[in-house]
Amino acid sequence: MGGDHAPRATVRGVCEALDMYPGLSPLLLVGDEAQVLAELAHAGKARHPKITVVHAPEVVRMDEAATAAVRGKKQSSITVAVDLVRQGLARAVLSAGNTGATLMVSTVKLRTLPGIERAAIATILPSRRGRFILLDAGANADSKAEHLLHFAIMGDIYSREILGHAKPRVGLVSNGTEPEKGNDLTRSAYQLLQQTPNLNFIGNVEGNDLFEGRVDVAVCDGFVGNVILKCAEGLAKALGHILKENLKKSPVRVLGGVLAYGALNELRQIGDYSEYGGAPFLGVNGAVFKCHGGSNAKAIRNGLRVVQEFLDHGVNERIVKRVQALGSVPAAPAP
Protein backbone atom coordinates (compact mmCIF):
# COMPACT_ATOMS: atom_id res chain seq x y z
CA MET A 1 0.00 0.00 0.00
CA GLY A 2 3.03 2.28 0.18
CA GLY A 3 4.10 4.67 -2.56
CA ASP A 4 2.63 7.59 -4.45
CA HIS A 5 0.74 5.38 -6.93
CA ALA A 6 -0.24 2.46 -4.71
CA PRO A 7 -1.89 0.06 -4.88
CA ARG A 8 -2.49 0.28 -8.65
CA ALA A 9 1.14 0.68 -9.74
CA THR A 10 2.25 -2.04 -7.31
CA VAL A 11 -0.30 -4.58 -8.52
CA ARG A 12 0.39 -3.81 -12.17
CA GLY A 13 4.11 -4.22 -11.56
CA VAL A 14 3.46 -7.59 -9.91
CA CYS A 15 1.39 -8.73 -12.88
CA GLU A 16 4.06 -7.63 -15.36
CA ALA A 17 6.76 -9.43 -13.35
CA LEU A 18 4.79 -12.68 -13.32
CA ASP A 19 4.38 -12.46 -17.11
CA MET A 20 8.04 -11.64 -17.79
CA TYR A 21 9.78 -13.84 -15.19
CA PRO A 22 8.25 -17.34 -15.10
CA GLY A 23 10.69 -18.44 -12.39
CA LEU A 24 9.58 -15.75 -9.96
CA SER A 25 8.70 -17.01 -6.48
CA PRO A 26 5.05 -16.94 -5.32
CA LEU A 27 4.02 -13.49 -4.12
CA LEU A 28 2.10 -12.26 -1.09
CA LEU A 29 0.39 -8.92 -1.71
CA VAL A 30 0.02 -7.26 1.69
CA GLY A 31 -2.55 -4.49 1.99
CA ASP A 32 -6.21 -3.59 2.01
CA GLU A 33 -7.79 -6.77 0.65
CA ALA A 34 -10.71 -5.12 -1.15
CA GLN A 35 -8.51 -2.63 -2.98
CA VAL A 36 -5.87 -5.20 -3.91
CA LEU A 37 -8.42 -7.71 -5.20
CA ALA A 38 -10.08 -5.00 -7.26
CA GLU A 39 -6.76 -4.09 -8.89
CA LEU A 40 -5.98 -7.76 -9.56
CA ALA A 41 -9.37 -8.23 -11.22
CA HIS A 42 -8.76 -5.12 -13.33
CA ALA A 43 -5.41 -6.58 -14.44
CA GLY A 44 -6.91 -9.99 -15.22
CA LYS A 45 -4.99 -11.79 -12.46
CA ALA A 46 -7.75 -12.29 -9.87
CA ARG A 47 -7.07 -16.01 -9.46
CA HIS A 48 -3.41 -16.29 -10.38
CA PRO A 49 -1.87 -19.38 -8.71
CA LYS A 50 1.25 -17.47 -7.61
CA ILE A 51 -0.62 -14.61 -5.88
CA THR A 52 -1.99 -14.59 -2.34
CA VAL A 53 -3.52 -11.49 -0.78
CA VAL A 54 -2.78 -10.87 2.91
CA HIS A 55 -5.10 -8.34 4.52
CA ALA A 56 -3.51 -5.37 6.35
CA PRO A 57 -6.05 -2.63 7.17
CA GLU A 58 -3.58 0.15 8.09
CA VAL A 59 -1.11 2.23 6.05
CA VAL A 60 1.89 4.26 7.23
CA ARG A 61 1.71 7.47 5.19
CA MET A 62 4.81 8.92 3.57
CA ASP A 63 4.76 11.94 5.90
CA GLU A 64 4.38 9.94 9.12
CA ALA A 65 7.17 9.30 11.60
CA ALA A 66 8.88 5.92 11.33
CA THR A 67 7.82 5.07 14.88
CA ALA A 68 4.18 4.97 13.72
CA ALA A 69 4.83 1.64 12.03
CA VAL A 70 6.33 0.07 15.15
CA ARG A 71 4.17 1.53 17.92
CA GLY A 72 0.97 2.95 16.50
CA LYS A 73 0.08 0.90 13.41
CA LYS A 74 0.85 -2.72 14.05
CA GLN A 75 -1.55 -3.80 11.30
CA SER A 76 0.06 -1.60 8.65
CA SER A 77 1.02 -3.24 5.38
CA ILE A 78 4.76 -2.85 6.00
CA THR A 79 4.58 -4.23 9.55
CA VAL A 80 2.52 -7.24 8.49
CA ALA A 81 4.87 -7.89 5.54
CA VAL A 82 7.99 -7.87 7.72
CA ASP A 83 6.23 -10.10 10.25
CA LEU A 84 5.71 -12.66 7.48
CA VAL A 85 9.48 -12.80 6.97
CA ARG A 86 10.12 -13.00 10.71
CA GLN A 87 7.70 -15.92 10.97
CA GLY A 88 9.32 -17.73 8.06
CA LEU A 89 6.23 -17.39 5.85
CA ALA A 90 8.01 -15.18 3.33
CA ARG A 91 11.63 -14.80 2.20
CA ALA A 92 11.72 -11.12 1.29
CA VAL A 93 9.90 -7.78 1.44
CA LEU A 94 9.61 -5.17 -1.33
CA SER A 95 8.05 -1.80 -0.48
CA ALA A 96 7.65 1.57 -2.17
CA GLY A 97 6.38 3.17 1.04
CA ASN A 98 7.85 5.18 3.89
CA THR A 99 11.62 4.53 3.91
CA GLY A 100 12.14 5.30 7.58
CA ALA A 101 9.24 3.07 8.62
CA THR A 102 10.45 0.21 6.41
CA LEU A 103 13.96 0.45 7.85
CA MET A 104 12.82 0.73 11.46
CA VAL A 105 10.34 -2.15 11.29
CA SER A 106 12.91 -4.34 9.53
CA THR A 107 15.72 -3.72 12.01
CA VAL A 108 13.44 -3.99 15.06
CA LYS A 109 11.72 -7.21 14.00
CA LEU A 110 14.43 -8.94 11.98
CA ARG A 111 17.55 -7.50 13.64
CA THR A 112 20.85 -7.37 11.76
CA LEU A 113 22.97 -10.18 10.34
CA PRO A 114 25.44 -11.85 12.72
CA GLY A 115 28.53 -9.67 12.94
CA ILE A 116 26.87 -6.63 11.37
CA GLU A 117 25.93 -3.73 13.66
CA ARG A 118 24.17 -1.39 11.21
CA ALA A 119 22.13 -1.91 8.06
CA ALA A 120 22.82 0.31 5.04
CA ILE A 121 20.76 1.35 2.05
CA ALA A 122 22.62 0.27 -1.10
CA THR A 123 21.57 2.35 -4.11
CA ILE A 124 22.68 1.64 -7.67
CA LEU A 125 23.64 4.74 -9.67
CA PRO A 126 24.87 5.20 -13.26
CA SER A 127 28.37 6.23 -14.27
CA ARG A 128 30.29 6.69 -17.52
CA ARG A 129 31.51 3.08 -17.30
CA GLY A 130 28.33 1.35 -16.16
CA ARG A 131 26.88 1.27 -12.65
CA PHE A 132 28.18 1.61 -9.12
CA ILE A 133 26.77 1.05 -5.64
CA LEU A 134 26.48 3.88 -3.14
CA LEU A 135 26.12 2.89 0.52
CA ASP A 136 25.00 4.03 2.94
CA ALA A 137 22.45 6.12 1.01
CA GLY A 138 20.50 7.25 4.05
CA ALA A 139 19.98 4.66 6.78
CA ASN A 140 22.56 6.01 9.27
CA ALA A 141 23.26 9.72 9.63
CA ASP A 142 26.01 8.93 12.13
CA SER A 143 28.36 5.97 11.74
CA LYS A 144 31.56 4.53 13.18
CA ALA A 145 34.61 3.45 11.22
CA GLU A 146 33.71 -0.21 11.83
CA HIS A 147 30.30 0.41 10.26
CA LEU A 148 31.92 1.78 7.10
CA LEU A 149 34.08 -1.34 6.95
CA HIS A 150 30.95 -3.49 7.10
CA PHE A 151 29.32 -1.33 4.40
CA ALA A 152 32.35 -1.93 2.19
CA ILE A 153 32.21 -5.71 2.69
CA MET A 154 28.48 -5.85 1.99
CA GLY A 155 28.80 -3.59 -1.05
CA ASP A 156 31.66 -5.70 -2.40
CA ILE A 157 29.56 -8.88 -2.21
CA TYR A 158 26.46 -7.22 -3.67
CA SER A 159 28.54 -5.83 -6.54
CA ARG A 160 30.00 -9.26 -7.29
CA GLU A 161 26.74 -11.20 -7.10
CA ILE A 162 24.22 -8.76 -8.60
CA LEU A 163 26.24 -6.44 -10.86
CA GLY A 164 28.72 -9.11 -11.96
CA HIS A 165 31.96 -7.31 -11.06
CA ALA A 166 34.69 -9.91 -10.56
CA LYS A 167 36.86 -7.62 -8.43
CA PRO A 168 34.86 -4.54 -7.41
CA ARG A 169 36.84 -1.36 -6.82
CA VAL A 170 35.88 -0.05 -3.38
CA GLY A 171 36.37 3.64 -2.65
CA LEU A 172 35.86 5.72 0.50
CA VAL A 173 34.06 9.01 -0.18
CA SER A 174 36.11 11.93 1.13
CA ASN A 175 37.06 15.52 0.27
CA GLY A 176 40.39 14.51 -1.22
CA THR A 177 42.19 11.42 -2.46
CA GLU A 178 45.11 11.62 -0.03
CA PRO A 179 44.87 9.23 2.98
CA GLU A 180 45.11 12.12 5.45
CA LYS A 181 42.14 13.97 3.93
CA GLY A 182 38.65 13.82 5.42
CA ASN A 183 37.30 13.93 8.96
CA ASP A 184 38.00 11.69 11.96
CA LEU A 185 35.53 9.09 10.65
CA THR A 186 36.99 8.74 7.16
CA ARG A 187 40.61 8.76 8.34
CA SER A 188 39.91 5.94 10.80
CA ALA A 189 37.85 4.01 8.24
CA TYR A 190 40.64 4.39 5.67
CA GLN A 191 43.08 2.47 7.88
CA LEU A 192 40.55 -0.30 8.55
CA LEU A 193 39.73 -0.71 4.87
CA GLN A 194 43.38 -0.68 3.90
CA GLN A 195 44.19 -3.68 6.10
CA THR A 196 41.13 -5.76 5.18
CA PRO A 197 42.11 -8.85 3.12
CA ASN A 198 40.38 -9.74 -0.16
CA LEU A 199 38.96 -6.23 -0.52
CA ASN A 200 39.99 -4.23 -3.58
CA PHE A 201 40.21 -0.94 -1.70
CA ILE A 202 41.46 1.83 -4.02
CA GLY A 203 41.57 4.57 -1.38
CA ASN A 204 39.68 7.84 -1.06
CA VAL A 205 37.47 9.05 -3.88
CA GLU A 206 35.91 12.47 -4.36
CA GLY A 207 32.39 13.27 -5.50
CA ASN A 208 33.46 13.88 -9.09
CA ASP A 209 35.07 10.41 -9.24
CA LEU A 210 31.80 8.57 -8.64
CA PHE A 211 30.03 9.32 -11.91
CA GLU A 212 33.25 9.11 -13.91
CA GLY A 213 33.24 5.38 -13.17
CA ARG A 214 36.33 5.20 -10.99
CA VAL A 215 34.63 2.97 -8.39
CA ASP A 216 32.21 0.06 -8.29
CA VAL A 217 31.39 0.54 -4.59
CA ALA A 218 31.34 3.99 -2.94
CA VAL A 219 31.31 3.87 0.87
CA CYS A 220 30.19 6.70 3.17
CA ASP A 221 27.91 7.40 6.12
CA GLY A 222 24.19 7.87 5.50
CA PHE A 223 24.31 11.65 5.83
CA VAL A 224 26.82 12.09 3.03
CA GLY A 225 25.27 9.29 0.95
CA ASN A 226 21.78 10.75 1.05
CA VAL A 227 23.07 14.18 0.03
CA ILE A 228 24.89 12.61 -2.94
CA LEU A 229 21.78 10.64 -3.93
CA LYS A 230 19.39 13.60 -3.75
CA CYS A 231 21.82 15.89 -5.60
CA ALA A 232 22.22 13.30 -8.37
CA GLU A 233 18.44 12.89 -8.72
CA GLY A 234 17.89 16.64 -8.76
CA LEU A 235 20.66 17.27 -11.29
CA ALA A 236 19.36 14.56 -13.64
CA LYS A 237 15.84 16.00 -13.50
CA ALA A 238 17.06 19.58 -14.02
CA LEU A 239 19.27 18.64 -16.98
CA GLY A 240 16.35 16.81 -18.58
CA HIS A 241 14.14 19.91 -18.34
CA ILE A 242 16.93 22.21 -19.59
CA LEU A 243 17.62 19.97 -22.58
CA LYS A 244 13.93 19.70 -23.42
CA GLU A 245 13.41 23.47 -23.30
CA ASN A 246 16.51 24.21 -25.39
CA LEU A 247 15.52 21.72 -28.08
CA LYS A 248 12.27 23.66 -28.58
CA LYS A 249 13.92 27.02 -29.28
CA SER A 250 14.21 26.65 -33.06
CA PRO A 251 13.02 24.35 -35.88
CA VAL A 252 16.61 23.26 -36.48
CA ARG A 253 16.98 22.18 -32.86
CA VAL A 254 13.64 20.35 -33.00
CA LEU A 255 14.87 18.46 -36.06
CA GLY A 256 18.13 17.69 -34.31
CA GLY A 257 16.20 16.35 -31.34
CA VAL A 258 14.20 14.06 -33.63
CA LEU A 259 17.37 12.76 -35.28
CA ALA A 260 19.01 12.20 -31.90
CA TYR A 261 15.94 10.56 -30.37
CA GLY A 262 17.61 7.17 -29.95
CA ALA A 263 20.61 8.57 -28.10
CA LEU A 264 18.43 10.84 -25.95
CA ASN A 265 16.18 7.92 -25.06
CA GLU A 266 19.17 5.82 -24.00
CA LEU A 267 20.37 8.74 -21.86
CA ARG A 268 16.95 8.95 -20.22
CA GLN A 269 16.99 5.23 -19.45
CA ILE A 270 20.43 5.50 -17.80
CA GLY A 271 19.07 8.02 -15.32
CA ASP A 272 15.69 6.35 -14.83
CA TYR A 273 15.40 4.85 -11.33
CA SER A 274 12.70 2.45 -12.53
CA GLU A 275 15.36 0.61 -14.56
CA TYR A 276 17.24 -0.35 -11.38
CA GLY A 277 14.33 -1.66 -9.30
CA GLY A 278 14.73 -1.55 -5.53
CA ALA A 279 17.57 -0.76 -3.13
CA PRO A 280 18.34 -3.41 -0.50
CA PHE A 281 18.80 -2.72 3.19
CA LEU A 282 22.06 -4.63 3.34
CA GLY A 283 22.81 -5.99 6.80
CA VAL A 284 19.21 -6.70 7.80
CA ASN A 285 18.68 -10.34 8.79
CA GLY A 286 16.29 -10.90 5.90
CA ALA A 287 15.89 -9.61 2.36
CA VAL A 288 14.27 -6.16 2.53
CA PHE A 289 14.12 -3.92 -0.53
CA LYS A 290 12.90 -0.35 -0.92
CA CYS A 291 11.60 1.07 -4.20
CA HIS A 292 11.35 4.78 -4.95
CA GLY A 293 8.23 6.43 -3.52
CA GLY A 294 7.14 7.47 -7.00
CA SER A 295 7.56 3.96 -8.42
CA ASN A 296 5.51 2.99 -11.44
CA ALA A 297 4.70 -0.54 -12.55
CA LYS A 298 8.06 -0.86 -14.31
CA ALA A 299 9.97 -0.02 -11.12
CA ILE A 300 8.01 -2.61 -9.13
CA ARG A 301 8.56 -5.21 -11.85
CA ASN A 302 12.31 -4.62 -11.89
CA GLY A 303 12.36 -4.50 -8.10
CA LEU A 304 10.90 -7.99 -7.93
CA ARG A 305 13.49 -9.21 -10.44
CA VAL A 306 16.34 -7.84 -8.30
CA VAL A 307 14.88 -9.37 -5.13
CA GLN A 308 14.75 -12.78 -6.82
CA GLU A 309 18.39 -12.39 -7.92
CA PHE A 310 19.34 -11.45 -4.35
CA LEU A 311 17.72 -14.61 -3.00
CA ASP A 312 19.10 -16.85 -5.74
CA HIS A 313 22.67 -15.63 -5.13
CA GLY A 314 22.43 -16.03 -1.34
CA VAL A 315 23.81 -12.55 -0.73
CA ASN A 316 23.07 -12.48 3.00
CA GLU A 317 24.66 -15.86 3.53
CA ARG A 318 27.81 -14.69 1.73
CA ILE A 319 27.97 -11.54 3.85
CA VAL A 320 27.80 -13.56 7.07
CA LYS A 321 30.55 -15.95 5.89
CA ARG A 322 32.79 -13.05 4.87
CA VAL A 323 32.43 -11.26 8.21
CA GLN A 324 32.99 -14.50 10.13
CA ALA A 325 36.12 -15.19 8.08
CA LEU A 326 37.53 -11.83 9.17
CA GLY A 327 37.07 -12.77 12.80
CA SER A 328 36.84 -9.92 15.24
CA VAL A 329 36.98 -6.61 13.39
CA PRO A 330 40.04 -4.67 14.49
CA ALA A 331 39.38 -1.57 16.54
CA ALA A 332 39.54 1.67 14.60
CA PRO A 333 42.78 3.55 15.28
CA ALA A 334 42.56 6.84 17.11
CA PRO A 335 42.38 9.77 14.67
From the list 35, 45, 198, 230, the residue with the least C-alpha distance to 121 is 230
From the list 253, 156, 161, the residue with the least C-alpha distance to 196 is 156
> Residue 33 carries which side chain, given as an amino acid letter?
E
Query: Residue 271's pLDDT is what?
Result: 56
If residue 30 lies in a helix (H) or strand (E), which one and from where to where? strand 27-31
Q: Quote the crossing angle between the two packed helices 315-326 and 145-158, to the nearest 10°.
A: 130
Region 4-24 average pLDDT: 92
> Residue 119 carries which side chain, given as an amino acid letter?
A
| Distance between CA atoms of residues 324 and 326, nearest Å | 5
**What pTM was computed for the model?**
0.85
Reported as a pLDDT band with limits 50, 70 and 90, residue 64 is confident
Region 224-242 average pLDDT: 84
DSSP, res 242: H
Q: Quote the distance between the C-alpha of residue 162 and its chain's center.
A: 12
48: three-class secondary structure by DSSP: coil
**Residue 291, Cβ neighbours under 10 Å: how many?**
30
Region 252-268 average pLDDT: 66
| Distance between CA atoms of residues 155 and 122, nearest Å | 7
| pLDDT at position 261 over 70 | no
Asked if 69 and 79 count as a contact pair (C-beta separation under 8 A), the reply is: yes
pLDDT tens column, 88-109:
999 999 999 998 899 999 999 9
pLDDT tens column, 131-170:
899 999 988 888 999 999 999 999 999 999 988 999 999 9
Find the range with the poorest average confidence among 7-16, 81-90, 201-210, 239-248: 239-248
From the list 328, 308, 275, the residue with the least C-alpha distance to 131 is 275
Query: Residue 276's pLDDT is what?
Result: 66
pLDDT tens column, 266-321:
655 555 666 667 899 999 999 999 998 888 999 999 999 999 999 999 999 999 98
Higher pLDDT, 264 or 217: 217
**Rg of the chain over all Cα atoms, to the nearest angstrom:** 21
Reported as a pLDDT band with limits 50, 70 and 90, residue 69 is confident
Q: What's the mean per-residue pLDDT of the chain? A: 88
Reported as a pLDDT band with limits 50, 70 and 90, residue 333 is very low
Query: Residue 160's pLDDT is what?
Result: 92
From the list 100, 102, 159, the residue with the least C-alpha distance to 131 is 159
Reported as a pLDDT band with limits 50, 70 and 90, residue 245 is confident
| pLDDT at position 199 over 60 | yes
Region 196-217 average pLDDT: 93
Distances (CA, A) of 25 to 278, 280, 311: 17, 18, 10
Region 168-187 average pLDDT: 92
Asked if 215 and 169 count as a contact pair (C-beta separation under 8 A), the reply is: yes
Asked if 122 and 135 count as a contact pair (C-beta separation under 8 A), the reply is: yes
Sorted by where each begins, the domain ranges of the chain are: 1-110
Distances (CA, A) of 174 to 143, 177, 211: 14, 7, 15
Contacts for 168 with CB less than 8 Å, ≥ 6 apart: 155, 156, 159, 160, 200, 216, 217
Distances (CA, A) of 142 to 105, 222, 226: 19, 7, 12
| pLDDT at position 190 over 90 | yes
